[in-house]
Structure 1
Amino acid sequence: MPNTSAGADPTIGIVGLGRLGSALETACQANGTRVVLTASRRGGWAVEAVPDVLVDASAPEAHTEVLDYCATQRVPLIACVSNLTDTQGKALDELAEVVPVVRATNLSFAHYLQVRITEFTAALTTGRFGATTTVRERHPLGKAHRPSATALALADTWAGASGRAVADIADERAGLPVSEHEMTHTWDGEALHVRHHVGSWTVPARGALAAAHWARAAPPGLATMRTVYDDLTARTTT
């Protein structure tokens, strides 16, 4: 568990000013968190000071530059770019040897609860109570890749917890922002649906801020949002 004596809000750097990066910048302005670095493809890097934590909401093409900056300045990283190559994933592992790195496939708290529910369900649906399990995800038109990283992570969570692969992963490109992810467990004559819907980019922006607070005081190492929320929820119950 990281040291929680850091005091004031961390200063933030934001790489990528698309939908998530812009929402994070707005969230920081709303709660008085200082953004001391921004970087975008069009505007380049604008650095007022070295941030306490850097949030990468850009694209795989910027990955090397982001990791070089964090390694040189010893800045914790919240890595929100989901469609990284295996080589880029290994580079994150190497960075985590010197600074805290949170690999954030999905930033929202309710998704964390969906993962915990998936694990709980897997523990109970064995033997005669075994279910057929599927994953469905929906994003608006223009989503860069399919299935989404979150859908694949949910399938991996189910397989790891139950020892059984999901029967299908369905992806849909339609509707309004931001996303839906649904786990369906089916038995003879009944089904259980656990659906998580996000309707605003403010939601993942809040998650990125929570991760930044956590990472600021964390030791070097690779973590996930599961680690972050496990720790933060444990603090509220002790």
Structure 2
Amino acid sequence: MTAVRIGIIGITGRMGQALVREVANTANAALVAGSERPGSPQIGQDPGLLAGIGATGVKIVEDTAQLFTAADAVIDFTVPAALPQHAALAAQSKAAYVVGTTGLESEHFEALKKAAHHCAIVQGYNMSLGVHLVAGLVRQMAAALDENWDIEILEMHHRMKVDAPSGTAILLGEAAAAGRGVTLEKVADRGRDGITGARKRGSIGFAALRGGNVVGEHSVIFAADGERVEISHKATDRSLFARGAVRAAIWAKSKPPGIYRMADVLGLSG
């Protein structure tokens, strides 16, 4: 099997280095390009040396367009502000585009929707198999339990995370809302401070904790009078997200234009 040529945007970050190591450990994938922001001191260096796996023969560039020209699939875990430009480059090159960036808003989804007319895009708040299995369970439970069961989602991440609630928490909230046949936007309660009054029946609450170097922990709590059910997922190593992203890149390379989810990649969308 011919190796899928993979480019990584933000290749020297924590996720970028985890992706470099994962590509090196994947038989049918090959790292062909990596980029960093203009002016980065890592420009021109070999990302394999930075990731501790030895030289790869690839040099880090600042021109992201080079990535999309060289690669079959490009993986992006950077920042929302850069996404419209990256999506446009994906559309122009027709390279598959795997997006793990969180904190996306309506304009970012519009950019992805536009680009998806020309290339395959996998957008996922979380790339792990375990999280998507949890989401499936959450949807089933929300469908089975009525509004006498309050739903609360608790997440914790490292102190450097800049967005809240996490993308994974939103994914789980969307699963719960889908189980109840509503949209998350109509029932989400994302902040409580001061005299807030009683909890609104049918709402889905979110709480975010930040501290230390926690990779990611999520719990969905179903609470009724006299009983409580909790479903939790704990990530202890970023390599699990890198593994899912590389799997998505290989999968998307042969897919027609469109927007896909990790559930599609993992065969869980049926």
Following TM superposition, the consecutive aligned residue runs of length 4 or more in structure 1 with deviations greater than 4 angstroms are 46-49
Deviations 1:26-67 (A, max 9, x none): 111123431111011123148586211111122123223322
| 1:2-41 equivalences in 2 (<5 Å) | 7-17=1-11, 18-32=13-27, 33-41=29-37
1:74 to 94, 106, 116: 94
**CA distance in 1: counterparts of 2:30 and 2:166, whole angstroms:** 31
- Tell me the percent identity: 26
1:159 to 177, 186, 196: 177
**CA distance in 2: counterparts of 1:85 and 1:192, whole angstroms:** 31
Q: Does 1:200 align with 2:222?
A: no
Q: Which amino acid is 1:36 matched to?
A: V
2:221 is matched with 184
Greater displacement, 154-163 / 58-67: 58-67
Greater displacement, 200-209 / 118-127: 118-127
Q: Does 1:230 align with 2:248?
A: no
2:127 is matched with 107
Q: Which has the higher helix share?
A: 1
Larger radius of gyration: 2
**Preserved CA contact (<8 Å) 1:186 1:192:** yes
What is the DSSP-based 3-state SS (H/G/I as helix, E as strand, rest coil) of the residue aligned with 2:110?
Answer: helix
2:143 is matched with 123
1:132 to 150, 173, 177: 150
Q: Deviation of residue 121 (structure 1)?
A: 0.7
What is the DSSP-based 3-state SS (H/G/I as helix, E as strand, rest coil) of the residue aligned with 1:172?
Answer: strand
**CA distance in 2: counterparts of 1:45 and 1:149, whole angstroms:** 28
* Cα RMSD, aligned residues only: 2.1
Runs of 5+ unmatched residues, structure 2: 44-61, 188-202
Structure of higher RCO (CA pairs closer than 8 Å, 6+ residues apart): 1
> What is the TM-score with the length of structure 2 in the denominator?
0.77
Deviations 1:171-225 (A, max 9, x none): 1002433000110111222211101110111010000011112101111111111
Q: Does 1:57 align with 2:68?
A: no
Q: Which amino acid is 2:21 matched to?
A: T
> What is the TM-score with the length of structure 1 in the denominator?
0.87
Size of the aligned set, in residue pairs, is 225
**CA distance in 2: counterparts of 1:229 and 1:182, whole angstroms:** 22
**Preserved CA contact (<8 Å) 1:37 1:45:** no
Deviations 1:46-90 (A, max 9, x none): 858621111112212322332232122110100111123321210
**Preserved CA contact (<8 Å) 1:16 1:59:** no
